[in-house]
């Protein structure tokens, strides 16, 4: 199969030839004809399998061949993404695909001045890539109108819910015309997303080119157990021992990113960090320097888990496990892309056992464990498996006390010597799913 057999027009084929694209990936082979036919689509595929081209190529073709010329402050196609980094990445791909087409494309996101974006939109844009918050800002300031909108694309919709964009999504949908094509693409689909798709898509074609929530088999994964207080020390030890040259590291918090970067820089390591408190220009500069190998270690929060496309990245380190298990798949998906091989190592302490169990249940595999000599944890990480169970070893019976006593005091509560306090239950965070008007929608003629 070739891109030509999928029905793409010659200007797009020339762009793909220049980019070195030869054979469609499975998601592209199924999605492109469906989008060209005007179908609503719900597509799931592992990260790095070509989702962006799967919706961007047919969308650009429809814009080039159908519909009126874009009016002032209007947009004909809208791609919503959760982060600034992903907006930049998707727009760059779109710009390359559309090189030989007479179309105007643009990307808008927060963290930068809104005025240049308002100026750019005055002449109208055929295809706009946007984050939800900045899109609403532009709409409310009447810099953007949706009366010409033909197609809506949601990329990484599950991540938008994770980041708390449910209210913004509701407001956006209320502003959009009912007569439209809707495409929902994501690497993973939670039950919330499937519910959302049922509310907003009309008789969609469902495409799943890989099992739900399975990490790429080109990525070798394992964990190293360690006490929480020694994680940074272990990371430095592994970096020096294995002579790592280019590593993307994920930490749970912004303070954690800054602390690790500061420690590495203090040791003379060329490191930089990305998180939500940093200006967009600073984040982009750090990413560009990392891609050019001017930065050896890039430390990031989950703001970078999706949207970072780094060619031939050999290694991802989970300094902390993600709170949301699905983010593990996106993190390690930064390596092993487009058929290349990669490695993903997670540094896991006893406090993270429930997160580890959730990841193994989601990915349906038990991650191999290693202990690094001289870093064996004092607080043992309980065994886990892909069933989602934490396997607790039976406790040794306590020896009876030599003298009487009636018990021991434990946190102000009397308990018998053979009892233990029940662990606090693990509470799964509840995500708010936007509920939309589910009445009948008009279909395009």
Rounded CA gap, 307 and 155, in Å?
Answer: 10
Give the pLDDT confidence score for residue 333 in this predicted structure. Answer: 78
Query: Tokens 């727009």 identify what position?
Result: 91
Rounded CA gap, 421 and 408, in Å?
Answer: 13
Helices assigned H by DSSP within 267-383: 280-291, 326-332, 353-363
Give the pLDDT confidence score for residue 243 in this predicted structure. Answer: 92
Structural domain that includes position 327? 219-391
Q: Max alpha carbon distance in the chain (Å)? A: 92
**Do 197 and 290 fall within a single domain?**
no
Q: How far is CA 239 from the centre of its chain?
A: 25
Assign 207 to helix, strand or coil. strand
Decide: residue 33, CB within 10 A, 0-12 exposed, 13-18 middle, 19+ buried: middle
Rounded CA gap, 355 and 19, in Å?
Answer: 40
* Total domain count, the chain: 2
**Do 192 and 145 fall within a single domain?**
yes
Q: Kindly report the CATH number assigned to the domain that includes residue 287.
A: 3.40.50.300
Sign of CA dihedral 307, 313, 319, 325: positive
| Residue where a domain terminates, one of 145, 176, 208 | 208
**Do 323 and 202 fall within a single domain?**
no
Assign 114 to helix, strand or coil. coil
Structural domain contains residue 431? no
Q: What are phi and psi of 434, to 5 degrees?
A: -65, 140
Are 41 and 93 a contacting pair, CB within 8 Å?
no
pLDDT in tens, the chain (445 residues): 889 999 999 999 999 999 888 889 888 999 999 999 999 998 886 666 788 999 999 999 999 998 789 999 999 999 999 888 889 989 999 999 999 999 999 999 998 999 999 999 999 999 999 999 999 999 999 999 999 999 999 988 777 777 778 788 888 988 999 889 999 887 667 777 777 777 778 888 888 775 554 555 678 899 999 999 999 999 999 999 999 988 999 999 999 999 999 999 999 999 999 887 888 788 888 888 998 889 999 999 987 555 566 767 889 999 999 988 878 887 887 776 655 678 999 999 999 999 999 888 888 889 999 889 999 999 999 988 777 667 765 555 555 555 544 444 444 443 333 333 444 444 445 555 565 555 555 555 5
Are 433 and 191 a contacting pair, CB within 8 Å?
no
| Residue where a domain terminates, one of 186, 208, 230 | 208
**Do 41 and 137 fall within a single domain?**
yes
**Do 334 and 370 fall within a single domain?**
yes
Give the pLDDT confidence score for residue 12 in this predicted structure. Answer: 96
**Do 235 and 87 fall within a single domain?**
no
Rounded CA gap, 26 and 327, in Å?
Answer: 23
């Amino acid at each position: 199969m070739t891109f030509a057999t999928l029905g793409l027009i010659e200007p797009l084929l020339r762009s793909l030839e220049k980019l070195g694209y030869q054979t469609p990936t499975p998601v592209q082979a199924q999605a492109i004809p469906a989008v060209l036919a005007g179908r609503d689509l719900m597509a799931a595929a592992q990260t790095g399998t070509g989702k962006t081209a799967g919706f961007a190529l047919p969308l650009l073709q429809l814009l080039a061949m159908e519909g009126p010329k874009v009016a002032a402050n209007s947009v004909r196609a809208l791609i919503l993404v959760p982060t600034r980094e992903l907006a930049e990445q998707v727009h760059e791909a779109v710009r390359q695909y559309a090189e030989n087409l007479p179309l105007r494309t643009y990307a808008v996101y927060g963290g930068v001045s809104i005025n240049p974006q308002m100026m750019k939109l005055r002449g109208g844009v055929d295809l706009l890539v946007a984050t939800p918050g900045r899109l609403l800002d532009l709409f409310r300031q009447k810099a953007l109108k949706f009366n010409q909108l033909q197609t809506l694309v949601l990329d990484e919709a599950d991540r938008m819910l994770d980041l708390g964009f449910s209210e913004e999504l509701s407001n956006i949908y209320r502003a959009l015309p009912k007569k439209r094509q809707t495409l929902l693409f994501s690497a993973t689909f939670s039950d919330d997303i499937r519910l959302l798709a049922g509310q907003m898509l009309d008789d969609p074609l469902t495409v799943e080119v890989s099992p739900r929530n399975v990490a790429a088999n080109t990525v070798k994964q394992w964990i190293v157990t360690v006490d929480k207080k020694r994680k940074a020390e272990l990371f430095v030890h592994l970096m020096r021992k294995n002579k790592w040259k280019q590593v993307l590291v994920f930490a749970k918090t912004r303070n954690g990113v800054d602390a690790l970067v500061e420690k590495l820089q203090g040791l003379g390591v060329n490191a930089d960090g990305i998180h939500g408190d940093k200006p967009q220009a600073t984040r982009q500069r750090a990413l560009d320097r990392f891609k050019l190998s001017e930065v050896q270690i890039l430390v990031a929060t989950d703001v970078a888990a999706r949207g970072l496309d780094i060619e031939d990245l050999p290694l991802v380190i989970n300094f902390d496990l993600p709170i949301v298990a699905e983010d593990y798949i996106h993190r390690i998906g930064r390596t092993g892309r487009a058929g290349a091989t990669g490695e993903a190592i997670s540094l896991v302490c006893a406090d993270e056992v429930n997160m580890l169990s959730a990841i193994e249940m989601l990915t349906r595999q038990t991650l191999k464990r290693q202990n690094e000599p001289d870093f064996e944890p004092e607080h043992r990480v309980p065994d886990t498996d892909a069933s989602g169970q934490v396997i607790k070893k039976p406790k040794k019976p306590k020896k009876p006390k030599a003298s009487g006593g009636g018990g021991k005091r434990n946190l102000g509560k009397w308990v018998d010597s053979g009892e233990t306090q029940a662990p606090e239950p693990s509470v799964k965070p509840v995500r708010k799913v936007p509920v939309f008007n589910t009445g009948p929608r008009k279909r395009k003629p």
